[in-house]
Amino acid sequence: MYRFKLEALLNHRRYQEEVCQKELAQAQRELSDERVKLNRKKIVKQESLEKLQAKKKENPTVSDIMLHMNYLTELSKDIENQALRVQKSTKYVDQKRHELISIMKKRKTLKKIKNADLQAYQQKLTQDERKLMDEVASTRHVRKM
């Protein structure tokens, strides 16, 4: 019966691959969420700019304009911070993707080694079977004589 010597390592590589796939999927979800938050903040800023433009036409007080300007400044800071979060998430996703690729390569290498080892084992069995059949045939031939 065939038994691959490195089966435990191959199973470990499969487990590592599954874990990394889950981590990558989680990182991609988080990146998507961060992008959605960034887009929402940009929309809020755009709407606030439009409100400020509309207020300017109504002859607002200086304090109203300053209040809107301060709010827009804070929104801009939030957008910058969110853009940094998106950038960090993107880097993390890329890191996880490269890690997964590396793990997959290692697993595939082991899988190729296993297939080659299995093929060698099967060839050895076939060769042993042929030898046995040859011996049986020789024995029968000798007995007939």
- 104-118: pLDDT as tens digits: 999 999 999 999 999
In a domain, 89, yes or no: yes
- CA dist 75 and 24 (Å) reads 30
CB neighbour burial string for 96-127, b if at least 16 within 10 angstroms, e if fewer: beeebeebeebbeebeeebeeeeeeeeeeeee
What does the DSSP 8-state code read for residue 2? -
In a domain, 123, yes or no: no
With beta carbons less than 8 A apart as the criterion, state whether 41 and 75 touch: yes
Q: Taken in order 38, 41, 46, 47, is the CA torsion positive or negative?
A: positive
- CA dist 42 and 30 (Å) reads 18
pLDDT in tens, 64-110: 889 999 999 999 999 999 999 999 999 999 999 999 999 999 999 99
State how many domains the chain has.
1
In a domain, 43, yes or no: yes
Q: Domain containing 86: what range?
A: 7-110
Mean model confidence pLDDT for the chain: 93
